[in-house]
């Protein structure tokens, strides 16, 4: 109690000192606020702040006093410590409390606990070795007999009753569908040309010349005399000199020779036009032609081979 009274006296003297200092500061240098936002002077605001601080300090002092009081009482008369000891269970009792409970996994796999091992023993032994009767799990039996039922149904549906198509019949059906789809596609794209339907058409030469000048002169020259690519004006060809051969080379390209594929950049009509223009370059004899490459192409012999095939 004496400590608490001493603390209160120190708090009151501190507050008195702060109040005197504030009053002296107000008398020496009065501060005038033209438009106070709270409607109070600086001195009043300082006093309110000191009061709030005093209340907080008083609360802290009371809390510390109560804490020290409890510590002092505990020091004079310590509370005895009582240790609660639980009685150790016997192994059999503990085992009963921890009885094995089947889980979803053990039920699914038909697993048995070790405590049930005696019930699974087969009544015979060899050299002291006993055998356990572990039945096949239920899930395995369901799966096994399910496959047998499925196999019987499959056999009846596809082979006995012949309700479903077998592999060879499915192949024929798919090929028929593919042919039908091809015919429908060709009917919708009657104007399209491929390597099987391309023909020599002099009316396409002028269009093909423009396409050639825009895309092919970098490799084959302005007049087809050959630069990086081969000469297109002589009788020698690397991949055949027929209209179908040239069409295929332009369409699919020859990657190992540096010839790119124009299938995605040109329409089939444009490939046909440039093919006809290339054929028109035969025998034009431009200046500075590149040396012949490949084999000499004989149109009559090529037509004879095509007719024979």
- Phi/psi of residue 290, nearest 5 degrees: -75, 150
Find the radius of gyration of the CA atoms of the chain.
Answer: 53
Three-state SS at 228: coil
Q: What is the pLDDT of residue 30?
A: 46
Q: What is the pLDDT of residue 116?
A: 74
Q: Rounded distance, CA 151 to CA 145, Å?
A: 10
The owner of tokens 């708090």 is: 11
Extract the tokens encoding 198: 């391309």
CA dihedral of residues 231, 236, 242, 244 (deg, nearest 10): -60
Residues of the chain with pLDDT under 70: 1-40, 84-86, 95-102, 186, 188-191, 300-309
C-beta of residue 284 within 8 angstroms of C-beta of residue 223: yes
The owner of tokens 């009792």 is: 93
Extract the tokens encoding 68: 């020290």
Instruction: End-to-end CA distance of the chain: give it in Å, rounded.
Output: 126
Q: What is the pLDDT of residue 174?
A: 93
C-beta of residue 270 within 8 angstroms of C-beta of residue 211: yes
CB burial string 216-236: b at 16+ within 10 A, e below: beeebbebbbbeebbbbbbee
Which residues contact residue 110 at a Cβ distance below 8 angstroms, ignoring those fewer than 6 apart? 135, 137, 138, 139
pTM to 2 decimals? 0.41
Q: At what angle do helices 243-252 and 268-280 cross, to 10 degrees?
A: 130
Residue 283 backbone zone (phi > 0: left; psi -120 to 50: alpha; other: beta) = left
List pLDDT tens digits, range 210-254.
999 999 999 999 989 999 899 999 999 998 888 999 999 999 999
CA dihedral of residues 152, 157, 161, 165 (deg, nearest 10): -140
Give Cα separations from 265 to 88, 250, 268 (angstroms): 88, 11, 10
Q: What is the pLDDT of residue 97?
A: 67
Q: Rounded distance, CA 44 to CA 50, Å?
A: 10
Q: What is the pLDDT of residue 17?
A: 54
C-beta of residue 294 within 8 angstroms of C-beta of residue 241: no
Q: How many CB atoms lie within 10 A of CB 243?
A: 19
């Amino acid at each position: 109690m004496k400590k608490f009274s001493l603390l209160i006296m120190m708090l009151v003297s501190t507050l008195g000192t702060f109040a005197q200092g504030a009053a002296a500061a107000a008398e020496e240098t009065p501060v005038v606020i033209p438009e106070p936002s709270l409607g109070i002077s600086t001195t009043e605001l300082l006093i309110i702040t000191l009061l709030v601080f005093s209340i907080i300090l008083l609360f802290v002092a009371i809390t510390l006093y109560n804490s020290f009081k409890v510590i002092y009482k505990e020091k004079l008369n310590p509370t005895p410590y009582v240790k609660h000891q639980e009685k150790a269970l016997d192994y059999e009792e503990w085992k009963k409390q921890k009885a094995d409970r089947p889980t979803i996994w053990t039920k699914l796999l038909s697993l048995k606990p070790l405590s049930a091992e005696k019930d699974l023993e087969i009544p015979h032994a060899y050299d002291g070795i006993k055998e356990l009767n572990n039945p096949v799990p239920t899930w395995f039996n369901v799966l096994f007999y399910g496959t047998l039922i499925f196999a019987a149904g499959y056999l009846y549906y596809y082979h006995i009753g012949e309700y479903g198509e077998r592999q060879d019949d499915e192949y024929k059906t798919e090929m028929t569908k593919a042919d039908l789809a091809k015919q429908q596609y060709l009917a919708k794209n009657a104007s399209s040309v491929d390597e099987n339907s391309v023909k020599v058409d002099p009316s396409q030469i002028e269009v093909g010349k423009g396409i050639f000048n825009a895309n092919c002169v970098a490799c084959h020259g302005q007049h087809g005399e050959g630069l990086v690519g081969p000469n297109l004006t002589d009788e020698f060809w690397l991949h055949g000199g027929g209209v179908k051969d040239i069409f295929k080379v332009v369409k699919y390209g020859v990657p190992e020779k540096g010839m790119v594929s124009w299938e995605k950049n040109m329409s089939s009509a444009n490939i046909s036009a440039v093919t006809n223009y290339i054929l028109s370059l035969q025998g034009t004899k431009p200046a500075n032609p590149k040396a012949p490459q490949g084999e000499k192409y004989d149109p009559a012999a090529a037509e004879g081979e095509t007719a024979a095939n």
